[in-house]
Structure 1
Amino acid sequence: MTVRLALVILVDAAGRVLVQLRAPDARVAPGLWCLPGGHVEAGETPLVAARRELAEETGLEPEGDLRFVDHHVSSGVERFVFWGRTSADESRLVPGEGAALEFAALEASTWDGRPFVPQDADILGRFRPVEPAVVEVPQWQGSGAREPRRLATGARLMARMLTELPRTVEVTDLPGTARAVRAQLPGGYAVTIGGDCSVDLSPVAAARERFGEDLAVVWFDAHGDLNTPESSPSGAFHGMVLRALLGEGPAGLVAGTPLTPDQITLVGTRSLDPEEERFIRRRGIRVLGPGEPVTVDRPAVYAHVDLDVLDPSAFPHVGFPEPGGLSVAQLTGALRGLRERSGLVGAAVTEFMPDSPEVDLSVVRAVLDAL
């Protein structure tokens, strides 16, 4: 029998990881030092279990959302790891139902002379939290839109709206995006800002390599982005990027470790070329329309947002508007639901084409705030 655990890396105001010495539990690992957390009960998502266990173990609610960090299975134990912040000091950590005996603020792998066992030292070493980062990619060359350079302007406007995040890196090509994702974000969470949809090729591929079959990709887009060079009416790569992530596409742009069709959910997709329709039916890719609940059954979720998923009456500032799209409330509600129920491990917002310096940015702000 596999024991399912939800662990929380709780960080104090000084940035130290708070760790508890728990009563031994023979079903899990006797005598271990543990991060706050415990068992995932029947019917719970890992995120719900993490919040419940954190409250029971420490008497604390995290400040803001818990952020998903990793999923790991070893020796009959399945761990879901999250992290959050607290301004409380050790004096406010209250033992609860989890029989928390004592708490320590750790900066090394030992405390009071007692070493961590390898599993816990590994958790702290691999999952010490980092701040989210913005990868700004003002690329427009993959687009088939008229006046595609406006995509670069849209990317810069969105990136400026995320100045509260301490790390921003700007890159101008797909290889540069791959390097930025891997070098800037070890174990972290990236918001990629485009540019056209092709900017998400490297971030999704990196998430696939890191999380494997645990990854779900939710593709919010009016279009399928599932063409090949042979089937594409426009020849523009932004209409091929998801097909390339599935292992088919132009040489040099195909993912090394492709996604599988059951890892993908298309949301709000309503304008498909004939080959894309055939491919979706043949491969069994799930498609959800406006108003349908957006749920996934995997512990790691990547959200791709092409702003043309929105109905043009709500947001017309895209290259290829299509009627019948999502409302702003439907999109932001779906994103918040994925973040709260499943845990986002990455996201991208793309295809913003402002047509004047005075464009209303409130819709874009709402989408970014939902991530």
Structure 2
Amino acid sequence: MKLYFPQWQGSGTGKIIEDGARTILEYLKDPEFINVPLSEIKAGSNGEKKHNINNYDAIFEQLARLQKKIEEEQPKKITTIGGDCGLEIIPVSYLNQKYPNLGVIWFDAHADINTPNDSPSCNFHGMPLRTLLGEGSKHMDPLLFSTIDASQIHYIGVRDIDDGEQTRIQNGNIYAPKKVDIQELITLLKSKEITNLYLHFDFDCLEPDDYDKTYYQVSEGVKILEAEMYIEALQENFNIVGSSVLESTTVEISELTPIKKIIHSLV
């Protein structure tokens, strides 16, 4: 199942994330992508915060729409062009319910494992992993098909971590090295008897000198060639049941040139 879901409300005010998703869709020209409409509830600068989540009503409404679409289709695999990272609670929780031994590979500069009460921004795109753990807002729990365990989470490129997130990562013994050794990661995944993977790819995991058309730029990121190698190695060793490309902000197709191989590898 191929989904186009350019949710931006989870970023707070970053509507340019929707524009970036549209650019990738236009570049691919793939008619198989299903457009799941976003909410028309006011958001961004005119949005409302509820339960310590900015734009809560809009996010919940459109995620419920996405949940219903996936539930109706019962896909074996899910590929998503998005959108902010908050959307991941739907496909990941669905695939986790469907597949045993699912590992979640989180290519991201940010840990995305805040609770609403701990989040400095109250933006939902910093909360999806905590929500998937069943430790986020109880008001988001009805959207989940299932919850995951901390042992399923593995970060690549993470380097901008809030204090509360660091505590959760340490307490959960979550894989979050400063520098990834891909063979070490593969060995770790296999030692956990993980056979299926979900590849979440937020383009801000990349080094901004390589690609800076992202909602956030964080230095000392993953080089594009490294990311390509990591993805290829994971695809060779595991069954990829889901993937996403998220939070690119370019509105120019020509500016996608450095990341074309990553896009094609994942979608």
| TM-score, normalised relative to structure 1 | 0.60
Residue 365 (1) aligns with residue 263 (2): no
Letter aligned with residue 170 of structure 1: N
CA RMSD in angstroms, aligned pairs only: 1.7
| Cα deviation, residue 256, structure 1 | 4.9
- Tell which structure's C-alpha radius of gyration is larger: 1
| In 2, Cα distance between equivalents of 1:247 and 1:331 | 29
| Cα deviation, residue 261, structure 1 | 0.8
Higher relative contact order (CA 8 A, sep 6+): 2
| In 2, Cα distance between equivalents of 1:185 and 1:331 | 30
CA-to-partner distance for each residue in 1:80-127, whole Å, 9 max, x for gaps?
Answer: xxxxxxxxxxxxxxxxxxxxxxxxxxxxxxxxxxxxxxxxxxxxxxxx
Aligned length: 233
Q: Which of residues 98, 103, 119 is equivalent to 1:210?
A: 98
Give the unaligned 5+ runs of structure 1. 1-132
Q: Which of residues 117, 122, 129 is equivalent to 1:230?
A: 117
Residue 155 (1) aligns with residue 21 (2): yes
Say which is worse superposed, 260-269 or 172-181, in terms of deviation: 172-181
| Cα deviation, residue 357, structure 1 | 3.4
Q: Which residue of 1 aligns with 2:208?
A: 312
The structure carrying a bigger helix percent of its residues is 2
CA-to-partner distance for each residue in 1:269-295, whole Å, 9 max, x for gaps?
Answer: 001000001111111111133442142
| Cα deviation, residue 181, structure 1 | 2.5
Q: Is the 8 A contact 1:152 1:195 kept in 2?
A: yes
| Cα deviation, residue 329, structure 1 | 0.9
Letter aligned with residue 335 of structure 1: I
Q: Which of residues 188, 212, 220 is equivalent to 2:107?
A: 220
Residue 134 (1) aligns with residue 30 (2): no
Residue 329 (1) aligns with residue 225 (2): yes
Q: Is the 8 A contact 2:90 2:145 kept in 1?
A: no
Q: Is the 8 A contact 2:8 2:17 kept in 1?
A: yes
Letter aligned with residue 352 of structure 1: S
Percent of counterpart pairs with the same letter?
30
Q: Which of residues 165, 174, 177 is equivalent to 1:288?
A: 177
| In 2, Cα distance between equivalents of 1:206 and 1:159 | 23
CA-to-partner distance for each residue in 1:182-241, whole Å, 9 max, x for gaps?
Answer: 333532x221111110111100010111013x1000011000001011110000000001
Determine helix, strand or coil for the equivalent of 1:338.
helix
Letter aligned with residue 191 of structure 1: T
Q: Which residue of 2 aligns with 1:65?
A: none
Q: Is the 8 A contact 2:23 2:252 kept in 1?
A: no
Determine helix, strand or coil for the equivalent of 1:161.
helix
Q: Which of residues 257, 262, 267 is equivalent to 2:151?
A: 262
| In 2, Cα distance between equivalents of 1:256 and 1:185 | 12
Say which is worse superposed, 359-368 or 150-159, in terms of deviation: 359-368
Say which is worse superposed, 336-345 or 170-179, in terms of deviation: 170-179
| In 1, Cα distance between equivalents of 2:69 and 2:232 | 26
Determine helix, strand or coil for the equivalent of 1:345.
strand
| Cα deviation, residue 350, structure 1 | 0.6
Residue 169 (1) aligns with residue 37 (2): no
Determine helix, strand or coil for the equivalent of 1:202.
helix
Letter aligned with residue 262 of structure 1: S
Q: Which residue of 2 aligns with 1:46?
A: none
| In 2, Cα distance between equivalents of 1:268 and 1:316 | 15
Residue 299 (1) aligns with residue 212 (2): no
CA-to-partner distance for each residue in 1:335-369, whole Å, 9 max, x for gaps?
Answer: 11111111200001111112x53651113322112
5 Å matches for 1:43-58? none
CA-to-partner distance for each residue in 1:286-312, whole Å, 9 max, x for gaps?
Answer: 113344214222111000011100011
CA-to-partner distance for each residue in 1:141-178, whole Å, 9 max, x for gaps?
Answer: 1004xx511111111111233334x5211112211221
The structure carrying a bigger strand percent of its residues is 1
Pick closer, same or farther for the CA change 1:358–1:344 going to 2, 3 Å.
closer
